[in-house]
Amino acid sequence: MVDTKSLDCHTIGNLFGVEGRTLQRHYRDFMSDFREWEALSHSKDCLIFPQNIGEKLSIDETALSKGELYTILTNKSAKGRKGSIVAIVSGTKADDVIKVFEKIGLRERNKVKEITIDMAANMNLIAKKCFPKATLVTDRFHVQKLAIEALQEIRIKHRWEAIEAENIAIEKAKENKKTFHPEILSNDDTIKQLLARSSYLLYKRKGKWTLNQKERAALLFEKYPDIEKAYELTQELSTIFKTTKDKTVGLTKLALWHEKVRQAGFRSFNTISKTIENHYQTILNYLTTEVLTQMQSHLMQK
């Protein structure tokens, strides 16, 4: 007996000699109630599930099909399980998204106490317009993502420089009728390979590096101390969010981090620093939210 619940249409189709896509279309058009679905006429533009609304929501953008962006409103308490989605809207234009979200009654929207958003202006506008009584919170992961992207930008810059230097060396070797031999490091990487293969380890904390990653990181930081400095700034920012439990303390720690960024002189990190300053209030709201969540979790355990 085959457990068809665990199989997709292509696998089931193969079992019965039917092309997977044909089976999928047949199920959609004849076996399911898809054609009678009340939301069918507007499902490509938006879907609303007002019954899933809660006190803590999150607004974000995501690519669902062919790279097209959608704005998605979710209930954080559902934690990605059934009942998580409150609304999905095609596109990210504030006016379009607001029109859809406002189809949920104002009485229900006024029950929302907290909205987690990124630092995009359109998300801020949507949250304020649709959920006027909610506190806006910038998720720390959006902030940390900027720092990681800045770190990787520095690594990639050095990689392109290494590729160009190797190309020049190869051309010179050809002119002199010699064979080019790249420098081989102690872990058998070339400089170009070292920079390419270090991408993943820069996302991780030192304590989670494998032995190979520790060796590669040591070589990388020795040759490129600016990458090491940028890595330390990224990790320090992450630590501030993970360990700080008070707004005032968080503000002080961020101020010290800003000064380190200024002294480092990284253009991309200076941009992040300025971005954080422009969103201080909603970023610091995350700390308050995190403390309350931990207190509630502690009380529930008791």
Using CA of residue 48, residue 52, residue 54, residue 58, what is the dihedral sign? negative
* Whether residue 158 sits in one domain with residue 97: no
* Whether residue 258 sits in one domain with residue 159: yes
Rounded Cα–Cα distance for residues 119 and 278 (Å): 9
Yes or no: say if 232 and 240 are a contact pair by the CB < 8 Å rule: no
Alpha-helical regions (H) of 102-224: 106-109, 121-130, 140-175, 191-197, 211-223
The chain-wide mean pLDDT, for the chain, equals 84
| pLDDT reading at 5 higher than 50 | no
Query: Which has more pLDDT, 267 or 296?
Result: 267
Is 275 within the bounds of a domain?
yes
* Whether residue 87 sits in one domain with residue 29: no
Rounded Cα–Cα distance for residues 229 and 154 (Å): 11
* Whether residue 94 sits in one domain with residue 52: yes
- Token output for 153: 């930008």
* Whether residue 64 sits in one domain with residue 184: no
* Whether residue 149 sits in one domain with residue 290: yes
* Whether residue 211 sits in one domain with residue 187: yes
| pLDDT reading at 68 higher than 50 | yes
* Whether residue 153 sits in one domain with residue 9: no
Residue range 76-127, pLDDT digits in tens: 988 888 889 999 999 989 999 999 999 999 999 999 999 998 888 889 999 9
* Whether residue 277 sits in one domain with residue 189: yes
Is 301 within the bounds of a domain?
no
Rounded Cα–Cα distance for residues 138 and 113 (Å): 14
Query: Which has more pLDDT, 284 or 86?
Result: 86
Tell me which DSSP letter residue 29 carries. Answer: I
Residue range 80-89, pLDDT digits in tens: 888 899 999 9
Counting the structural domains of the chain, the total is 3
* Whether residue 171 sits in one domain with residue 124: no
* Whether residue 243 sits in one domain with residue 99: no
Biggest distance spanned by C-alpha atoms of the chain:
80
What are the E-state strand segments in 7-107? Answer: 46-48, 56-65, 68-75, 85-90
Is 26 within the bounds of a domain?
yes
CA–CA distances in Å: residue 152 to residues 195, 258, 269:
10, 19, 11
| H/E segment holding residue 136 | strand 135-138
* Whether residue 284 sits in one domain with residue 156: yes
30 lies in which domain range? 4-36
